[in-house]
Amino acid sequence: MDFDIFFSISQTPDTSGRTPSERELLSSFFDQVEHADELGFGVGWVAQAPLSTEVLKRNSNPVVPHYPGEVGLCTDFFQVAREMFSRTERMEVGSAVMSILASGGPIAQAERVGSFISLHGLNPSETRRLHIGFSAGRFEFMARPYGIVPRDELEEASWPALRGQIFAEATEIFLRLLNGEVLSSGHVGSTVLSRSNFRTDEDWGEVQQVAMRLRGLESEPDSIEMGNRYEFEEIKTIPQNWDMGLLNLVLGSHDQNLQVAANRHRPVQVFNLSITPPHVIEETHERMTESYHKDGGRWERGMMPRTVMVFVNDEEGLSPEEKDDAAMEEAKGALSTYWNALEGTIDPNKIARAADNAVIGNVDSVSKQISERFHSDDRLMCWFDFFNHDSERVKRNMAAFMTKVVPRVNGGE
């Protein structure tokens, strides 16, 4: 089993109520990055969350109205990645995940990727890859200032479905520009909405009615042509001559059609950032075995990183049972803080379900939980700084995990 690490860089109160300054939080982050490299984690994945969630609370429709502080301080992944590479020797770097709808859209993001790898690859001995996890965005509000909003009544009515199709269009543009193609919007498929894009007959029926009224149709349409969101004449991104082998792309979406469509252009793996049902995970592996682009080789389970919150306690002076109990209290405290921040109320059932999707306890307990819950060929993306700003403790947990848990899981002990 392979083990990566996830860094959230969240400037929010921890279970003690303490919120670190930006300087302290970023310093602790890079300290943990260097420690993770020394311990042997494979990829250091960094959450990207552009724009202030604190200011968002003033908006008419805030996404996280009760969330104190900032969800994340990584607003420019490429600058953070450059610093991470400069401070490490073995660990690779990934975005988890970068919105290609925000920060200028898919064209700008594609050019940033090429520019970064052009510089990254100037050292002929550099073999570490940049992993670009990309999605529509962690929260919808982050793309709104960049024009990803309904532009008329029909778009408003169909928005939940239409936004997903805008992301699909952006994905095609992003991937084909990374391939070095000369591209115009006329070469990109336009969006056509039908019943399959909507969750219920009622949702689709409402959109049909709006389309009939606005477009003067006499009957309900079987499909609705929405056109292209991105309009542009022929372009090609530069720099052009960069090492494709230094880039790995990972799609942050469980849209089955999009997973297949993306792999028609180039190898694109799949992210699992959320609590995903086991049957969805297995179905994804089956689908990608058939659909993964041939240039990427044979599909492997490790090509879909799986997020796991790690609450391990290996503190001195405690018995194994006391470590288990202490870890459970730490997990419950962090998870309740999280749900309270998201919703303003603590739901014990949600906390219990989330705890079931974390690994919690002393090193033996955590080792056993991982071995029982995950496939031996999985790649786990371990999250240690979840509502924990005690950087020294986070580093001890990282060390206990890599030096004691991993050898047990992989048969070394």
Provide the pLDDT for residue 356. 64
Predicted pLDDT at 235:
98
Task: State the pLDDT at residue 59.
Answer: 87
* Res. 241: pLDDT tops 60: yes
Residue 352 has pLDDT above 90, yes or no: no
Is residue 345 classed as helix, strand or coil in its secondary structure?
coil
Q: How high is the mean pLDDT of the chain?
A: 93
Predicted confidence (pLDDT) at residue 344 exceeds the cutoff of 60: no
**Residue 160 or residue 347, greater confidence:** 160
Q: Which pLDDT does position 355 carry in this prediction?
A: 60
Q: Cα(372)–Cα(127) distance, rounded to whole angstroms?
A: 34
Domains of the chain, first to last:
2-150+167-182+233-409 (3.20.20.30)
Amino acid at 259: Q
pTM over 0.85: yes
pLDDT tens for 157-190 read 999 999 999 999 999 999 999 999 999 999 999 9
pLDDT of 49: 87
Of the candidates 363, 248, 372, 350, the residue with the CA atom closest to the CA atom of residue 300: 248
Percentage of the chain modeled with pLDDT above 70: 95
Q: Please say if the pLDDT value at position 346 is more than 60.
A: no
Strand spans (E) along 53-146: 92-99, 130-135
Query: According to DSSP H, which parts of 179-200 are helical?
Result: none
Contacts 24+ apart (CB under 8 A), 313-321: 313/361, 313/362, 313/397, 314/362, 314/363, 314/396, 314/397, 314/400, 314/404, 315/396, 320/362, 320/364, 320/365
